[in-house]
Chain A
Amino acid sequence: MIAFLDSEVMRAALPPALTIATVASSMSVMILAHRLAFLAVGVSHATLAGLGVAVLLSLPLLPTAAVTAVIVALLLAALPEHRGLDHDAGTGVLFAGAMALGIVLLSSASQYEVDMFGLLFGNILMVSSEDTAWLAGAGLVVLAALALAARPWWSMALDAVTAAASGLPVSLYRLLLFAVTGLTVVICVRLAGIVLTTGLLVLPAATAWFWGRGLFRLWLLSLLTAITGTLIGLYLSYRMDWPSGATVVLALCALFALSWGSSRLVGGRARAF
């Protein structure tokens, strides 16, 4: 354990990894409450198009990916639900289209310019100081949006019609929710990559769902899960020389299995405190 903390690479990776864990687990509660897991999958894959554009035009990777993700998420929020086309289908269309565009754009870049494995599966161990600063800034934006809109989002997740009938500008809050989800996805891509980001956005709240009741307790348990999973994952990644993002997601999966199993033992999710 001491060797782990002595490692310069790990010491540099811990602050951004814990920032990502905090932001992802906080938004995770809303992503589960609003059933946006597939949207997160779609947006994370669509960021490949943003990364392709960034490489092609020599733009900074993460900010360009963030803009792409927010635009894609807003497009999905604005997609009219009529003639049988719902968000599920819309996400599938954008997901495939943007991913294909990303692959085409990146295929023209030299392999030295793009760390494809890092993009797809994450690599928190090679994070630059600019990336750390960007992650902190974007993370603060997400947390500020949560502080501002968590209660309306929570209320909409329970019953959007009643929330709207109380005068709440539900459409506006929905756009904000989708945009912030898009931004959170890009934050997570640095640790877990395009393919595994959904794990960071779903597993913390899913683990907490069996035990927490009420917004605050659910968020706290989700946060504790994400931080524990990240620390265990990074430690195992260091010890076993496994890829960091995948190991963190595996650790979160193990915590989820533990939570689900123990909740079954003590009476399932319906138990009352």
Chain B
Amino acid sequence: MSPPPLRVRGLCVGPREHRVLDGIDLTVEAGHFLGIVGPNGAGKSTLLHAIVGLVEPDAGRVELFGEPLTRFNRRRLLRRAGFLNQKQETPSTLPLSARDVVMMGLPEWNAPLWRRVRAGETVTRALEMTETANLAGRDFRTLSGGQKQRVRLARALASDPELLLLDEPSAALDTHARDMLYALLRRLCDERGVAVVMVEHDIAAISGHVDSVACLNVRIHHHAMHGERIPESIWRAMYGEHMHVVAHDSHCIGCHNGDET
């Protein structure tokens, strides 16, 4: 049996007296769709950054595809992963087509100029999957926020990743595009066995699609599987005493119709 694409063991980031992440344990098997929710400043983005080696852990370790992540094997292991960074605040001014942006996701893209890089089948498929094939020739700077976000997602998919790490991918997307995105991620998990870790704010929006939800605020307070109820005490521990749990639909992980207050 092949090792899980992602395993995090006792991960701590930040000084002992002021941890940003504290004792994180996570295992994400192939084909599993994990949603991570939590308030602002909970360490959600830091966790994703630590997984790809952008943040050095102060304790614990990250294993990708069964190998502990080090600075020496980082590049090789990350070739098998796709990463979507949080939406950029300052828009890029580079004159690029959307296809150019997607091609940057190819592992061979960073090769020297004398090696020709072609937009192969995976680029075309990534553009089609994200419904951006019609935008491929357009200037990236002129696209709307939602279109840019879909192109950036296509870039993360261009390398045909086995592990996909997404930091608030639905930012700037309208309802249709957001539903399309979650359905696409669900398909990638079910049909291609991709392991997906997605950070989002809105648990209600993702809970119908993910296999499990991890509630993160510095540490993981609860890890609920699909259909499992998240106790109200967990929500209060994460968001504070003044929060109100409002149930909305029967698919929501953690919410039951009797929970509304």
Contacts and interface: CB of A to CB of B under 8 A. Distances in A.
B97 A213 contact: yes
A254 interface: no
Contact of B95 (A155, A168, A209): A209
A30 to B, nearest CB: 11
B78 A213 contact: no
Contacts of A273: 137
Please classify how large the interface on chain B is, using the bins under 10, 10 to 19, 20 to 34, 35 or more: 35 or more
Interface in B85-103: 85, 88, 92, 94-97, 100-101
Contacts of B100: 213-215
B210 interface: no
A169 to B, nearest CB: 8
Interface stretch (B33-41, B110-118, B120-128, B182-190): B110-118
A166 interface: yes
B237 to A, nearest CB: 30
Contacts of A89: none
Given A213-B95, A214-B95, A270-B142, A155 B110 contact: yes
Given A161-B54, A161-B85, A212 B95 contact: yes
Contact of A147 (B77, B88, B109, B112): B112
A116 B139 CA distance: 46
A270 B117 CA distance: 26
A272 B114 CA distance: 28
B95 A166 contact: no
B141 interface: yes
Contact of B137 (A33, A150, A154, A272): A272
B221 interface: no
B76 interface: yes
Contacts of A218: 95
Contacts of B230: none
Given A33-B94, A165-B54, A165-B83, A155 B139 contact: no
Contacts of A7: none
Contact of B94 (A146, A152, A158): A158
A168 B85 CA distance: 15
B76 A272 contact: no
A101 interface: no
A159 B88 contact: yes
Contacts of B83: 162, 165-166
B74 interface: yes
B111 A165 contact: no
B113 A147 contact: yes
Contacts of A164: 52, 54
B109 A270 contact: no
B75 interface: yes
B104 interface: yes
A148 interface: yes
B85 A158 contact: no
A165 B137 CA distance: 26
A218 B165 CA distance: 32
A269 B93 CA distance: 10
B32 interface: no
A193 B107 CA distance: 41
A157 B152 CA distance: 15
B79 interface: yes
Interface string A142-156: 000011111110110
11 contacts: A147-B112, A148-B113, A158-B92, A159-B92, A165-B52, A166-B75, A167-B79, A213-B97, A270-B139, A270-B141, A272-B138
